[in-house]
Chain A
Amino acid sequence: MSKFILRRLLIAIPTLFAISFVVFAILELSPVDPLGNLPLTITPEEREKIREAMGANAPFHVKYAKWVVQFVINEPLNILEQVTGIKIGDSEGRLRYISYQTRSPIVDLVIQRLPQTLWVVGTAYLLSVLIAVPIGVLSAYKPYSIFDQVGTFFAIVGYSLPTFFTGLLFIIIFSVNLKWFPSVYDTTHRVTDMQSLLVQLRQIFMPTLVLALYFTAQISRFTRSSMLEHLNQDYIRTARSKGISERAVIMRHALRNSLIPVVTLVALGIPAIFQGAIITEQIFRVNGLGQLLILAIQGGDLPTVQALTFIFAVLIVIFNIVADVLYALLDPRVRLS
């Protein structure tokens, strides 16, 4: 098993390098001027100096090499130092990966923004898995029943509704007309006791629901088809003919097997939900990673955009491996091949 994981990790390294190069190249070739937002009163000579100080003038390969060193070696070392408290080498003089816009290390920016995104995205995903799997199983147990038809209808609608439309509708209905939930996310809010937890839950309610509607639609359809496939197989008929209770047939035989692909889908979907959150964060003014990205793009802050894109790519690669490993763990047949 560990050999399997190790091999997958080794294969991932060239992939990540290829991606990092592509991401870096695309952004380096872009016509965006990082000084575009600065006042026009700055003279061209001073602009040139600022550019020099930012390192924006360096040749492509130098920039790329610096970027790789900062991203692959320096930043992980910093995080390690912060977590363990052990100093490794010259930690003060180590170059950090710095944003053009705020002049602060990008990793710090990401760490500041991560909790908001995780609150919204995490709750939404958890919620949709909890809702979708039972719906999918019940739909498959009695296919083409009224429950299944209604489930199918809502799944198709949920899939076809763009999050920015449902988000706006929710704001109009629940914030403006009913005044139940706030339409703007308050980041300064801290959860300390029951009361503040309630406030937190209220403010993540709408973004979470919008995202959950979309994921639930996908996961429930997938669970249904996986379950349907297994319910028609011989071992289920055998189990039934042995006289096992229907409950045991479903829970112990069919469900366990049909959940294997669902688990992989859920793992594979995690990077996608971060991307899906970009629009949702924009609607509800949540200042998470998605908003950071949009602000960075608007400000011509190339290092931040590069870093975020690459972080997402790393997430995708990691969760691909996680999905493969989970699959192998859950399904012994996979390991043979």
Chain B
Amino acid sequence: MSTVANINDDTKETRARSLWQDAVKHFVRDRLTLIAFIVLVLMTLACYLAPPVLEDLLDVDATRTNTPASFTAPGVDRHVLGTDHLGRDQLIRLLYGGRVSLAVAYTSSIMIIFIGVSLGLLAGFYGGLVDDTITWLVNTLSSVPSTLLYIVIAAIWQPPVEWMIIILALLGWVGTSRLVRAEVLSIKEREYVLAARALGASDFRLLVSHIFPNLMSIVIVTGSIIAGNLILVEAGLSYLGVGVQPPTPTWGNMLTDSRTYFVQGVHLVIWPGIMILITVMCFYLVGDGLRDALDPHQSRHSKA
């Protein structure tokens, strides 16, 4: 008798947990992903909140140049990570640089997801002429050498950061929309969608409450990986001197300067590089971990 009751309890408990609760549980159990996520949160908080406090605390400044104190080694004289060729404190500059890089990554990836998902949904759901038009646009855009076009556009117009974010988004949504379209094509043939349609659900209702929720997992996963990739793209553009312009620091243009001065201070190469590495890696790990957490079919893989 008692065993039967136990079984019933178990089933009750599993039934009560939604996909999201499952995902959160999986996420917390997955140490690496959790650590990556915490690092990202801390990094973001540090970049946005820490600079004013640190400036007061250590009496350093991101823009004030002080040539006699250039190439100070890390840890010497209040400069935790040393100073650059103009004597500016590197730690503060890294944090300010992080603001720009993270702002580009977050906003641009959200825009990419928004454009990609909307167009992918429309193309996959309606088919016909809508699909043909969007697919043609996607195919044409994906034949455009995007990295090269970023460089050309950025070099010629030297857009401010806000415009750079928009341009990156306009050139970057193609992959997401392709992914979403393929997913929608398979979801809309499933029984529960057909059933809802047979019950007289409107297109809008089908899209919003039956198809879109099933896209959430790929949306979150690709969003995270795209954000990491955008950090690399922004850093690359700034490294080439066509992205964010000095004196505004970013991790990319800090490395450009260090190409000339690494003999005097290796720390000028190492720290911006490590910041990029850690951030991109964390975005990737979070995306990868979320894939496992949100996909009930794949969860056995991670346990094997």
Interface stretch (choices B46-54, B62-70, B190-198, B280-288): B280-288
- Asked if B148 lies at the interface with its beta carbon under 8 angstroms from chain A, I say yes
Q: Is A129 interfacial (CB-CB < 8 Å)?
A: no
* Interface window among B21-29, B75-83, B115-123, B254-262: B254-262
Question: Which residues of B pack against A, CB within 8 Å?
Answer: 139-140, 142-145, 147-149, 151-153, 155-157, 228, 232, 235-236, 239-240, 242, 252, 255, 258-259, 262-263, 266, 269, 272-273, 276-277, 280-281, 284-285, 301, 304
CA distance A32 to B155 in the complex (A): 10
Q: In the complex, are the beta carbons of B304 and A162 less than 8 A apart?
A: no
* Interface stretch (choices A54-62, A77-85, A163-171, A248-256): A163-171
Q: Give the interface segment out of A38-46, A65-73, A187-195, A309-317.
A: A309-317
Interface residues of A in 134-176 (CB under 8 A from B): 143-144, 156-157, 159-165, 168-169, 171-172, 176
- A309 B255 Cβ-Cβ under 8 A: no
CA A163 – CA B232 in complex, angstroms?
9
Establish whether residues A297 and B151, one from each chain, have CB atoms under 8 Å apart when the complex forms.
Answer: yes
Contact residues of A between 280 and 337, Cβ < 8 Å to B: 282-283, 293-294, 297-298, 305, 308-309, 312-313, 315-317, 320
Contact status A30-B156, CB under 8 Å: yes
Which of A19, A143, A159, A163 is within 8 Å of B304, CB to CB?
A: A143
Q: A162-B235, A297-B152 are in contact. List 4 more A-B contacts (CB 8 A).
A: A168-B273, A172-B262, A172-B266, A294-B240
Known A-B contacts A165-B269, A293-B151; A156 and B145 likewise in contact (beta carbons under 8 Å): no
Residues of chain B within 8 A of A309, CB atoms compared: 145, 148-149, 152
Within 8 Å by CB of B269, from A27, A168, A317, lies A168
Q: How far is the CB of B228 from chain A (nearest CB, A)?
A: 7
Q: Which residues of A contact B140 (CB under 8 A)?
A: 15, 18-19
Q: Which of B145, B149, B157, B276 has the most CB of A within 10 A?
A: B145
How many of A's residues come within 8 Å of B, CB to CB? 48
Chain A residues whose CB sits within 8 angstroms of the CB of B236 once the complex forms: 162-164, 279
B-contacting residues, A191-234, CB 8 Å = none
Q: Are A162 and B232 in contact (CB under 8 A)?
A: yes
Classify the interface of chain A: helix, strand, loop or mixed: helix
Establish whether residues A169 and B273, one from each chain, have CB atoms under 8 Å apart when the complex forms: yes
Contact among B151, B157, B276 with A31 in the assembled complex (CB-CB below 8 Å): B157
Q: Report the minimal beta-carbon distance from B36 to chain A, rounded to whole angstroms.
A: 10
B281 touches A160 (CB 8 A): yes
Whether A282 lies near B240 (C-beta < 8 A) is yes
Q: How far is the CA of A278 from the CA of B149 in the complex (A)?
A: 12
Cβ A164 vs Cβ B152 within 8 A: no
Chain A residues near B240 (CB-CB < 8 A): 278-279, 282, 294
Q: Is A22 an interface residue (CB 8 A)?
A: yes
CA distance A297 to B149 in the complex (A): 11
Q: Are A305 and B281 in contact (CB under 8 A)?
A: no
| A293→B277 contact, CB < 8 A | no
Q: 24 A-B pairs, CB-CB below 8 angstroms? A: A18-B140, A22-B144, A30-B156, A31-B156, A156-B281, A157-B281, A159-B280, A160-B276, A160-B280, A162-B280, A164-B236, A164-B252, A165-B272, A165-B276, A168-B262, A172-B262, A176-B262, A282-B239, A297-B242, A309-B145, A309-B148, A309-B149, A313-B144, A317-B143
Most buried by A among B228, B232, B242, B266: B232
Cα of A298 to Cα of B147 in the assembled complex, Å: 17
Contact B143 A313 (CB under 8 A): yes
